[in-house]
Each structure stands twice: as structure tokens, then as C-alpha cells.
Amino acid sequence: MKKTISTKQVTQKKATNSAVRGDIPRTTSRTKFNAWSLSVYVYWFIILFFIAATFYILGRSHGVLNNRAIDSAELTEESLRSASDYYDSSRIKLMTGNIDEALADLNTAIADGVAHTDMYVLRGEAYMMSGNYAAAENDFNRAIEMDNMNAMAYYDRSLLNTRLENYDAAMNDINSAMAARAQRHNDYLPLRDLYAKRGQLNLWMKNWDGAIADYTNSLARPEGIINPTVYAERAEAFTALGDYTSALEDYTSAIRVISEQIQGVQTAEERESLSSRAMSYFEKSAALNLNMGNIDNSVSDLNAARTIAVALSDTDSVDRIDSLLNSLAQ
């Protein structure tokens, strides 16, 4: 006798078998509708995403997003450069006298957010060369705040204060530069130059003994190149103290250094500059010899100065020296 199974039991059995096999139950017509709707939304989302991405890429290439055309070379060589690259570039431009472009590079380097002390020092020098003394002072002050042992920052601020005729402040800065250099060596600041600069400040402040001491220390240093101006300015200090003999010796030394250095100059402009200085020193030497009663030596110095003036086609100097020679001949 067969066992009769009800419809309900059949349904339950199918459900049980389906669960054992891991089959996914059939969805109702409402479930089918929702899944289909979701797939449509995903489809359109993908389409819109690719459209937006396409316009973004086109916008970047044609300048739509930035309202300007971006050159591919600029992207690879300019916009991707680091702050140190701009700093190195600015140094080269400043050495060649391209101050505006040097400032532009330094502004970019500092704006990058990783500015170091040397960037402010160099920008201060650029501002000083351009005549923007207030901005230069701000940068030198900022550099010293960042590193109070930066000899170059003190030295540059001393030069700035000298231009502004703030001699006391300039003297304080040059002393700070020398103290900082004693603690931390700086190849860009030879002691010869530091002593010479302080000697010049002492000369302008009429501290004759201080000027002579500094100029003597400068000339005694082994490093660097001797500047004939150091001899000539020490001669001025000796003259102010009435030591004409020492002053004459210094003018002679200054002329000797010029005669040695003029052989190695590369341009006519440099030769003319050195020659003009030598002519001036001969005239000053002539004046000292005249004060000491050495008429013959004075005439000899004036004739040497006249020879240089003729070579330089400096007719005004020739006329002036001829007038002096005529007065001594009478």
C-alpha cells in the first residue's frame, strides 16, 4: 500500500534538499526587479565615472582646470624642481647680475616651506643689490634668528649698515661675524677680508689706530689675494696721524701690487680701473712728498701719474697734473 504524500510535505522536502545543496532560493518577482534596478544604477555610475575622468584628463592637457596652458617641459623641469634646485639656480643668476630672476627663484625656494638659513642670506644679498634695503635687513635678521653663529649673515648685515651709514651697528655686526667665524670656519669669509672691512669702518669712524691695526692684520694673513686698497687706506690713517713716511711706503706698496696684478687681468675695463687707482696713489704720494719738502720726488710722482692719464686718454687729469707741474717748476 503506497504512502500518500501531501503537497505541503513535497514543498518542505524540496526546500530541505535545496538547503543541503547550497542552492540559492528563487526570488520573487519583486526581488528580481530590485536587483535589475541596482545593476542599472551601477552601470550608469561606471559610465559617468569614465566620462568625468576623460574630461579631467582633457582639462589637464588643455588648461581647462587651471585656466592656463601647461607646457610639458615646464611640468618636468620647472614645477617638479626642489627648493635646493631653485637656490642653486639663484646663486648662478646673482653672480651674473640677473637680480630679478634670482629673487624669483629664491622666493620660490623659500615658499616651498623648507627654507634654510643660506636662502635668507642669499635673498638678503639680492635685495641689497637691488636697493631694497628694508627687505634685505629683514632677511639678514631672519637668518640670524635661525642661526646666531652664521658669520655670513652678520657680515652682510654689516655691509648693509655701512651703506646706510649706521657705522656703530656695522661695527657690532663685523665683530659678531669675526666671533662666529672663530667658532665655525667659513671658506667664503677669509680673515684677510674681515680685518680689511673692520679697518675700513675704523677709518671712516676716524679711529686711526684701530684702522692701522686691522689693516696690518689683514696684510699679515696668508690666505686670499692682497687688495692694494688696504695699503692705500692704511696710508690715509698714517697721514691722519702725521706719519708721512709710513704713508709714503704704503702708497708705494699699493702701486707695486697694482703693477703685479695688472699683468693678469682679462679685460680692458679691469686694466683701466687698476690704472686709475695707481694714478690716484701717485698723486697722493706727490702731495705727501711736497709736504715733506721732497720736491724732486713730488715731481717724479706727478710725471708718473701724468703718463698713466695720457694712456687712459684722461684729458682732465692731464690738464690738472700739468697745472701742478707748472706750479712746482716756478
Whether 28 shows a pLDDT value over 60: the answer reads no
What are the C-alpha distances in Å from 11 to residues 7, 30, 99, 293?
Answer: 6, 21, 93, 142
What percent of the chain is predicted at pLDDT more than 90? 59
Asked if domains 82-189 and 206-330 share a fold, the reply is: yes
Contact 144, 164 (CB under 8 A): no
User: What pLDDT is recorded for position 33?
Assistant: 43
User: What pLDDT is recorded for position 143?
Assistant: 96
Instruction: Dump pLDDT digits (tens) for 234-264.
Output: 999 999 999 999 999 999 999 999 999 998 8
What is the number of other CB atoms lying within 10 angstroms of the CB of residue 274? 17
Phi-psi region of 313 (alpha: psi -120 to 50; beta: other; left: phi over 0): left
Residue type, 243: D
Whether 19 shows a pLDDT value over 50: the answer reads no
Whether 67 shows a pLDDT value over 60: the answer reads no
Among the residue ranges 84-98, 245-259, 275-289, 309-323, the one predicted with the least confidence is 84-98
What is the number of other CB atoms lying within 10 angstroms of the CB of residue 14? 11
Instruction: Dump pLDDT digits (tens) for 291-306.
Output: 999 999 999 999 999 9
Whether 327 shows a pLDDT value over 60: the answer reads yes
Residue type, 28: T
The candidate with the shortest Cα–Cα distance to 121, out of 172, 186, 195, is: 186
Helices (runs of H) and strands (runs of E) counted in the chain = 16, 0
* Domain 206-330 fold: 1.25.40
Distance CA 32, CA 36 (A): 6
Distance CA 63, CA 72 (A): 12
pLDDT, mean of residues 84-107: 85
Q: What is the mean pLDDT of the chain?
A: 81
Report the predicted TM-score, pTM, of the whole model to 2 decimal places.
0.71
Most confident of 112-121, 240-249, 266-275: 240-249
Contact 310, 318 (CB under 8 A): yes
User: What pLDDT is recorded for position 212?
Assistant: 98
Instruction: Dump pLDDT digits (tens) for 160-209.
Output: 999 999 999 999 999 999 999 999 888 889 999 999 999 999 999 999 99
Contact 176, 143 (CB under 8 A): no
Widest distance between CA atoms in the chain: 168
Among the residue ranges 74-78, 115-119, 279-283, the one predicted with the least confidence is 74-78
Domain range list for the chain? 82-189, 206-330
Residue 166 DSSP label: -
User: What pLDDT is recorded for position 265?
Assistant: 87
* Domain 82-189 fold: 1.25.40
Task: Compute the CA torsion angle 58, 62, 65, 71 (nearest 10 deg).
Answer: 120
